[in-house]
Structure formats: C-alpha cells, structure tokens
Amino acid sequence: MKNGMIKIRNARMKYPGGDGLDHVNLEVAGGEFVYLVGSTGAGKSTVLKLIYMEELPDAGYVVVDGANSSEISRREIPFVRRKLGIIFQDFRLFEDRNIFENVAFVLRVTGARPRDIKKKTLRALAEVGLSHKSRKMASDLSGGEQQRAAIARAIVNDPLILLADEPTANLDPKTSVEILNILDRANARGTAVLMATHNYELVNYSSKRVVSIKNGRTLP
C-alpha cells in the first residue's frame, strides 16, 4: 500500500463568512477505505474540496498523489483531478446531456479514443445497474438513480482515489447497501476510497478506519 496518497497537514480554510475548517489532519494510503464522519456543518464537504482543490488551504497543506497545494500551479490542477473520482453531495450531473454522455465526459476531457470511451462508459453504467437508462436525461431519473449515475461518472476512469460525499444520504436501506457494495468493489480493484457521512451507525458497525470531524477540526 502506497502511503500518503492523500495527506492533509494542519489545514485551515475559511469561507468569506468565517465558517470552514480550523485544523484538519488526514491521511489516506493507496487502496485504503476511510470514513470521514461528522454531523452536518462539521466541514466534511470542505475537506473533500481541499482534496480536489476547489479550495486551497489558508494554512497548512494538502498533498494528492505527490501534488502539493502550496506549490501547485492552476494549470496542473485539472490533471490532479483526473486521478480522482468525485461523487458530489448534490450529484452535479450535467443537465444538458444524457446519462451516457454524463459519464463519458470524464473520459472525453482526457482525449481518450471513442472506442475506449464507449467500452469504459458502458462498463461503469453496468457496474451501477444503469445500463437501461443510459439514454435518459439526468432530470428524468429518480434520486437513487441520479446517485448511481454520479457514482458511474466517478469510477469510469478507474481513479486512484474515490471521494464520496454522503453517497447514501436520502436512500432507503436496501439501496444504501447496494451503493456501499459498489464502493467496496471499486476499493477491491485498488481504488482508495474516502467517504464522507453523518451516519454514525453505519460507521460504528464497520471495520474500516474512521476519521471524525467536528466544528472544522479532525479529532486525533
């Protein structure tokens, strides 16, 4: 296992309103599965934003597969993001295209060959059980289906790290288990997974490593 695939050290990041992160330390090794748990507003999504570098820390630093937030240039950030698969809390599906194109987009930005794009996209859609809905627009899907489309887009390029922000929120228990199984399978293929959740119950019954966050501070 490669150590320090993700490394956050003494990171601080404040939004203009004054909320945000005070002191965050977090490390995820290659291939590891880690839960980031905390109640609503604790700062879980913000930690993930630091990792995909939508926000940069005001103090401390973030390293993602060797790319350090304190040294990185804007031009390099897209290439760091291509190593990640991100399941956004609000899905962020592209409303202007169908599910197939939503998933395929991640491959298109890399300039992949059309044949490979088709193959990988169909595989990812099959993995989340959405093959039959690939021609539907995002807005025509149920919440659970949108969640799965978001996951398909995150795993389609076999990312080094999967960042999952509350992927089981608002889902019935059966669907939640299905989703967790999809993440487990991605993890079994070698992808490191960092999953943010406020579901303490889930975390307590799991044997996986857990990092807690409270009021913008990770607990040691």
Of 80 and 202, which CB lies nearer to another protein in the complex structure? 80
Do 219 and 213 touch, CB atoms closer than 8 A?
yes
- Write down the least CB distance from residue 208 to ligand ATP, Å: 19
Q: Comparing C-alpha atoms, which of 94, 111, 214 is closest to residue 153? A: 94
Provide the mask over 96-135, with x wherever binding to another protein is found by CB under 8 A and - wherever it is not: x--------xx-xxxxxxx--x------------------
- Write down the least CB distance from residue 32 to another protein, Å: 22
Rg (CA), the chain: 17
Given candidates 78, 129, 143, 190, which one binds another protein under the rule CB under 8 A?
78
Q: How many CB atoms lie within 10 A of CB 158?
A: 15
40 lines the binding site for ligand ATP (CB under 6 A): yes
Which option in another protein, ligand ATP, Mg ion, none does residue 112 bind, with CB closer than 5 to 8 A by kind? Answer: another protein
Token pair listed for 176 = 């939640």
94 lines the binding site for another protein (CB under 8 A): yes
* Exposure string for 63-90, b = 16+ CB within 10 A, e = fewer: bbbeeebeebeeeebeebbebbbbbbee
Binding site for another protein (CB under 8 A): 52, 54, 75, 78-79, 81-82, 86, 88, 92, 94-96, 105-106, 108-114, 117, 153
